[in-house]
Structures are given as structure tokens and as C-alpha cells.
Structure 1
């Protein structure tokens, strides 16, 4: 599961990270609480060139007649992605990379309250998540949209949640983007032990309107 992202990287840094040509309409500024349906920067590869494009986080199958015509598909499960009609063409032909500083996950308190955790790479480097995308069009409306690929939790994250986004290391980017041939399915696996760290943060982030650096402040142990 991955329902909120943090991305503090400037667009220029993401373009350098991916060696991609940036679009001029990318979201700007540090973003501490990226929610589904928000625009995110996505690296795609076509005709021998990588591009950094803005896309709506929330995948729209081709049969949707409007963006709200069905469930909001923000994640695609690695175990079934090649079989699901909504995702199977995209995972074969339209894979992408999504840079993030970290993401949030929630556990339940003894009283049932949603308790947020901020999860990030242990080495402080940006994380790069596996995604799938497509251009959707209906009723005169056109949107580029993306879903993040998720897998069973690993790297110790099992204690927080049973799912996690697929995190790709730099040597694997060409294979995921389709630049290095076939066989990208082997990349859809949990993160290795020790690569992530996490801490509790305040419940302010439970609101999709919350923003600012204070959302990442760790709560006292």
C-alpha cells in the first residue's frame, strides 16, 4: 500500500537523477503531503529519450467515461498486475519511474485511531518507485495518469503494513523502463532488509489539506 508521498526534490534534480528532459508544467516546490489525484512528476522513456512529465496519481482504465467513473486506482499489485484488465497493457508497454523522498503508512492505535508513520531510505538518498502509466481520454477530456506498483512488505516494514511500493535501484531503471529488453517482472519484489527507516509523525498528515515541513517532525519515542 502507498497512499501518500513526500517529494522534496527540485524538478531540476529529478531531471538530472533520471537523465530526462523535463516538461515545463511540472509541479513545483517541496511537497510534504502528496495525495491521490495530485499531479506528480513521472519519468518515462520513448524513442530513445527519457522525459519527466506531470501525471495524475490515480490510474484511469480506458473504459472509464469520466475520472470518477470507478474506483480510484492509485496502486497496482505486483502479483496480479499482468492479469488485471486495467493494468496489463500498461505494465507491458508503459512503465515509469517516480522519485520520492519518502512515503506515509498508517497503523491503528488501541482505540482504533489512525497513526501515521513516515518511511524513507535509511541512507537519506531519494527513493525511486516503480509505476505504470497511460494517457486517458473520454468526453473531450484528456489526462495522463499513473499508478504505483506495490508488493508484499519487506525490509522490516512488515511490522507496519503488509504492503509496500516497489523500490528500484539505479541499475534496474533501464530494465523497468523497457530500455534494456524484457524481464522487468523480476524487479517487482520487496526492498532488502535495512534499506528503510521510519518513525511516527503527528496525525496532522491524516488530512489531505495538511502541508509543511512540520508534518515530518518525529514524535518523541
Structure 2
């Protein structure tokens, strides 16, 4: 599962990687949470477009979004067969730009948050799904979810699930729902390589949605155990010292 993430790269760097035709301007966000708007990249009429959607997919057939389950993640293994995600898998696949994400590991002292990001820095792309829900009065709301897969070796030390991360060479295939059926993108929804990500323990301040600043990503000492970290060249466990809103706020 992925319930918090960040997008701190500049608008120019994000656009350079994803190649959309729009020129949006947006601030760095360090603690993006469900129900907030998130940046996505989708394909429309053969062009990649930047689009804000609500994090928490609402299927087009839902009668009342207020009473519908908040679907922030979709299991890649079963999404194509689930009524809530089946249509989006066929027709509405998207990319979700991210600088990193947070995950919590259970320890004897409680849940320890980790910040996980590409070992080489930069921006990455989560595989996502989106839908448009229309209310009886004609208003539309775009919403979406992230696809998850089983964790790779490094992430398995923290949690058993992780986001599906796509490399740039897979972007076109993933977004081209008109020509690429679901059966052909299943090969993309696999755990990323073990050395792609690095993880560091961070402060429990991330647990509070209103905390949204760069200090959330500063490494902190672990209360117990070892912090799983992976670099591009090697995997190493470093013993840590004991020690002690509003939906339109994103852009």
C-alpha cells in the first residue's frame, strides 16, 4: 500500500521526464495525502497531458461518492477483474509523477516511517488509473488510484506491497489504451529492481497531514533494528543509533 508520497521536483524537471504539452506551475509538496489533488499524466488524442485529479478513485457507476470506499490503491494482480478498476484498466491508465513515497514498518516500539526514493535521485513514475464521475447536475470529478505490486527485496523489509514504478521506456505502452490492451501491460506491473530505491527512517511528523515541509525527509535514528537501505551499486544495512486539507491546497 502507498498512502503518502512527495513531489518536490521542479515543474521543468517533471515536464522534461514525462513530455506533456502543458506548462503547469506547482510548488514542492512533501506530504501528499489521500483526497487531495495529485498530478497525473495521461494521453489524449495522441498527446500527453498534465491533469489534476482527486486521490481516491470513484468509479463512474458510483451513486454517492461521499459514501463510497476510498480507493487510493489498486492491486495490480487483480485490478483488471475488479468492477471498481476494470474500466480504468482498459481505457484510463495514467502516470503519477513522484519524488518519493512513505511507508511504515512495524517495530516493537510501534510503526516507524521510512522515506523511499530513487537511489539516483530525480523523479519516478507510478502506474495509475483514473475515472470521471458525473453528478446528476452535470458536474464532473476526475479521480484516481495508484497500482501496487508485491515488494522487491529491499521494500519487503519495510512492507509487503509497493507502488508499481514504470521506467520512461514503458510510458508510451502504458498510456496508449487505444492500441495496447490490458493483457499486454501486465508485464509492466512488476516490482522494480532491488537496487532502484533507497530507504531512510524519518520522523513520525509525517503521520500528520498538515506537516508538509522538507524536514519530513531528514533521516532520523532508528529506535531499534536496522534501517534497510539500497544504493545503485550495492545493498547495505547500516546499524542505526538508538535515540531518542483542503482538496485544492496542492497546487
> Smaller-chain TM-score range?
over 0.9
Aligned to 1:216: 217
Using a 3 Å threshold, how does the CA distance of structure 1 residues 12 and 67 change in structure 2: closer, same or farther? farther
Runs of 4+ in 1 over 4 A off after TM superposition: none
- Pair member with larger Rg: 2
Deviation at 1:16, TM superposition (A): 2.4
Aligned to 1:42: 40
SS at match of 1:172: helix
Aligned to 1:123: 120
Conservation of the 8 A alpha-carbon contact between 1:130 and 1:167: yes
Could you tell me how far apart the structure 1 residues matched to 2:77 and 2:6 are?
25
Unaligned runs of 5+ in 2: 222-239, 241-251
Aligned to 2:202: 201
The count of aligned residue pairs is 218
Conservation of the 8 A alpha-carbon contact between 1:22 and 1:53: no
Q: Deviations over 1:43-71 (max 9, x none)?
A: 00021111001111110012323332221
Aligned to 1:114: 111
Could you tell me how far apart the structure 2 residues matched to 1:117 and 1:45 are?
32
Could you tell me how far apart the structure 2 residues matched to 1:93 and 1:198 are?
34
Q: Deviations over 1:71-115 (max 9, x none)?
A: 10000001100100000110111100111000000012314x221
SS at match of 1:22: coil
Deviation at 1:186, TM superposition (A): 1.0
Deviation at 1:206, TM superposition (A): 0.6
Question: Structure 2-normalised TM-score?
Answer: 0.82
Return the match for 1:64 from 62, 65, 82.
62
Deviation at 1:155, TM superposition (A): 4.1
